[in-house]
Structure 1
Amino acid sequence: MDKHESEFTMIQSVLLDDENDTLIILDQTVLPNEKVFLHLKDMKDVWEAIYALKVRGAPAIGIAAAYGLYLGTKASKAADFDQLRQDFGKVKEYLACSRPTAVNLFWALNRMENRLLQEADRSVAEIKEALRQEAELIREEDAKVCESIGKHALTLLKENWGILTHCNAGTIATAKYGTALAPIYLGQEQGYSFKVYADETRPLLQGARLTAWELKEAGVDVTLICDNMSSIVMKEGKIQAVLVGCDRVAANGDTANKIGTSGVAVLAKHYGIPFYVCSPLSTIDLECKTGDDIHIELRPDAEVTTQWYEKPMAPEGVKVYNPAFDVTDHSLITAIVTENGIAYAPFEESLPKMFAQK
């Protein structure tokens, strides 16, 4: 891998500028035309960045939420633990309502709260420092998790394979490497010569704007296709595996991911192509029994009708149904790849074992 590629895979989409009380994020809504880093100080701006997908990808959302919660608590004027806990709780509750589907958001916020409670007997200054350390740990651990997911997933793939991916589960969606794109980056380093097909991923075009951009930047052989072209590239034999990330995995293996993922899984099943979900353990919610229990976020109509066009591309006033996610049934999933190994059906048995692995 050359210097340019190495620098690219090291890009951090979420950074903490503690000295200036600032959360820095790569604004993913303006890619690929601009590479803009936003400097956020106000919690309203942090909330809006998560809601508006300026920072997106389950792990990156968790990292941003942890940093945001730390900065919000750091600004507290509390003189004792009880008051600090109240201020912490207000910020936590506020950030929690930004993205209801992404389990990493709540996982990170709850982890920060656990650290707060563990430090209850310390001074306010020491508690704030502990929260900073915890947020940094969340970022550092995610980088290691992504690399491990990539190594496990790479064992399922062969050189020169064609790989289809949907949405963006790459380095800019995580601390480093990504989840579904991690084996592609590791394979690139090892000369696997994958040929990647990236679905456009409507209505927010994360495949076109983000996945195609970052893979092209890294020197990966990537071809962009519209969402309704997945079937023909599979039929033509161009695809040997599908890799996707996810925002939540239920205990039975049902998986919520960007809208359109379930359709790709149905097609893969029809053509006999393995469908792999790459998921950190923090995204697996064993308290959520099935996909029916996953709340599906509805997005603004404008994302479908006007956002990407100079002129409206739909009749004014037409009804729009714009769910951000769909749920892929566990029966369509070949395996779920975690940092601790690969889980196969029945997922009710294999997923809990992933948490027990070292």
Structure 2
Amino acid sequence: MILEDRQDKDLAFMLKFENVAWYEDGKVRILDRRIYPIRTEFVVCKSHKEVAQAIKDMVTQSEGPYTAAAMGMALATYEIKNETDPEKIVAYLEDAAYTLSHARPTTAEQMKGIVNGAVKAAKEAVSKGVIGDALVDVIFKYAYDYENNNYRRYTVIGHNLAKMIPDNGTIMTQCFAGTVVGTMLRECRKMNKNIKLFCAETRPYYQGARLTASVACDMGFDVTVISDNMPAYTMKTKNVDLFTSASDVITMDGHVVNKVGTFQMAMAAHYYGIPYYCTGTPDPAHPDMSSVVIEERDPAQVIESLGQKTTMDGVKGYYPAFDCTPPEFVTGIVTDKGVYKPEDVHKYIEGDSEC
């Protein structure tokens, strides 16, 4: 299958399509972001359930789980390729869609849109008599188009965010904003903005240190890693111009759910008069925070570092994966339609242009 118009051109190694999550020959290969760049290894999944487990186990993060879920649907289609009964094919894919979308609770609603889109594409193809390997090709093409179009959309978001950064400015990031980091840096280069980045390390997975910093370094930008207790002091002493993060959920009333620690960084930015721009899109499935489930992960990960225990036996850990930043600490939500004030983010769904 010839795949054209690739939107990953000039992006870092870990943002290339094949290095995020990729279906081929009855397997899905996922770059293990838990250990990159210390080691460059891939987790190979031979069933859609293994893909769901990889998502749950944080093999991939940021935009990666969504791509993995889409590619997982192609793998599920491969698993059922010898079935000829259309109803059984669709039922199997619907079950796979549920398994993949519910691998992690906080992002289940966003995941549903992607995997249910694959089911819809399969239904349309099956209704025309497409089954077997031909159906696998259809769902892989759906997954590829999803990823490629997502990169195209994030290029617009990256451009809109890059416009907010002063020439030769300094920004601070939280966690790993995935594709938008790469596209924002690519757009900065086009604008001749040779920016500097300060990346909070983002324990316990160190996404900021290992992923965001790696993308920036790979693309030739000046990047410095700080520990998670240094952002406020660094904002002041290093003249940070802008704080930015991605989002796992943006509610329709302007709350931002993102990697735990975002809230305190947003408060520090607010105190120093530094704008905080969050990237993402509001989710109609979450009108407010009452519908958001904050995932709590294995507390043992807090009392270790990269597999090495750091506390005395008997010490407990606590690991909420996300926190919520209220609208009053958010300067703007950067989307593919423009930049919205958090209180106006509902206009994104209503079709209004940027505020």
TM-score by length of 2: 0.89
Q: Does 1:62 align with 2:66?
A: yes
Q: Does 1:343 align with 2:340?
A: yes
181-190 or 193-202: bigger deviation: 181-190
Distance, in Å, in 2 between the alignment partners of 1:162 and 1:192 is 10
- Equivalent residues of 2:243, 2:269 under 8 A apart: yes
Q: Does 1:330 align with 2:327?
A: yes
* Percentage of matched positions with identical amino acids: 26
Q: CA RMSD in A?
A: 2.2
How many Å apart are 1:255 and its aligned residue? 1.2
Distance, in Å, in 1 between the alignment partners of 2:32 and 2:351 is 33
* Structure 2 residue matching 1:179: 3-state secondary structure: helix
What is residue 287 of structure 2 aligned with on the other side?
289
Q: Deviations over 1:247-280 (max 9, x none)?
A: 111101111111101111111111111000111x
341-350 or 77-86: bigger deviation: 341-350
Change (3 A) 1:231 1:46: same
Match of 1:140, as an amino acid?
N
Q: Does 1:104 align with 2:113?
A: no
41-50 or 225-234: bigger deviation: 41-50
Gaps of 5+ in 1: 171-177
- Equivalent residues of 2:338, 2:353 under 8 A apart: no
Following TM superposition, the consecutive aligned residue runs of length 4 or more in structure 1 with deviations greater than 6 angstroms are none
- Equivalent residues of 1:257, 1:327 under 8 A apart: yes
Distance, in Å, in 2 between the alignment partners of 1:36 and 1:27 is 6
- Equivalent residues of 2:56, 2:104 under 8 A apart: yes
- Equivalent residues of 2:94, 2:116 under 8 A apart: no
Change (3 A) 1:355 1:36: farther
Aligned length: 340
What is residue 184 of structure 1 aligned with on the other side?
185
Distance, in Å, in 1 between the alignment partners of 2:29 and 2:351 is 33
Q: Does 1:299 align with 2:297?
A: yes
Change (3 A) 1:32 1:14: closer
* Structure 2 residue matching 1:302: 3-state secondary structure: helix
What is residue 87 of structure 1 aligned with on the other side?
92
How many Å apart are 1:15 and its aligned residue? 4.2
How many Å apart are 1:309 and its aligned residue? 5.1
- What does residue range 1-358 of structure 1 map to in structure 2 within 5 Å? 6=10, 8=12, 11-12=16-17, 13-18=19-24, 20-57=25-62, 59-76=63-80, 77-102=82-107, 103-125=109-131, 127-170=135-178, 178-279=179-280, 281=281, 284-308=282-306, 310=308, 312-353=309-350
Q: Deviations over 1:264-298 (max 9, x none)?
A: 1111111111000111x4xx311211123211111
Q: Deviations over 1:108-162 (max 9, x none)?
A: 1122223233345222415444322211210110110111111111221211111
Match of 2:37, as an amino acid?
P
* Structure 2 residue matching 1:228: 3-state secondary structure: coil
Distance, in Å, in 2 between the alignment partners of 1:225 and 1:300 is 24
* Structure 1 residue matching 2:83: 3-state secondary structure: coil
* Structure 2 residue matching 1:198: 3-state secondary structure: strand
TM-score by length of 1: 0.88
Distance, in Å, in 2 between the alignment partners of 1:143 and 1:81 is 33
* Structure 2 residue matching 1:98: 3-state secondary structure: coil
Gaps of 5+ in 2: 1-8
Distance, in Å, in 2 between the alignment partners of 1:354 and 1:203 is 39
How many Å apart are 1:218 and its aligned residue? 1.6
- Equivalent residues of 1:180, 1:244 under 8 A apart: no
Distance, in Å, in 1 between the alignment partners of 2:43 and 2:185 is 28
Change (3 A) 1:16 1:205: closer
Q: Deviations over 1:323-350 (max 9, x none)?
A: 1111111121111111121112423543
* Structure 2 residue matching 1:285: 3-state secondary structure: coil
* Structure 1 residue matching 2:10: 3-state secondary structure: helix
Distance, in Å, in 2 between the alignment partners of 1:238 and 1:216 is 21
Change (3 A) 1:207 1:75: same
Distance, in Å, in 1 between the alignment partners of 2:129 and 2:139 is 12
* Structure 2 residue matching 1:165: 3-state secondary structure: strand
What is residue 173 of structure 1 aligned with on the other side?
none
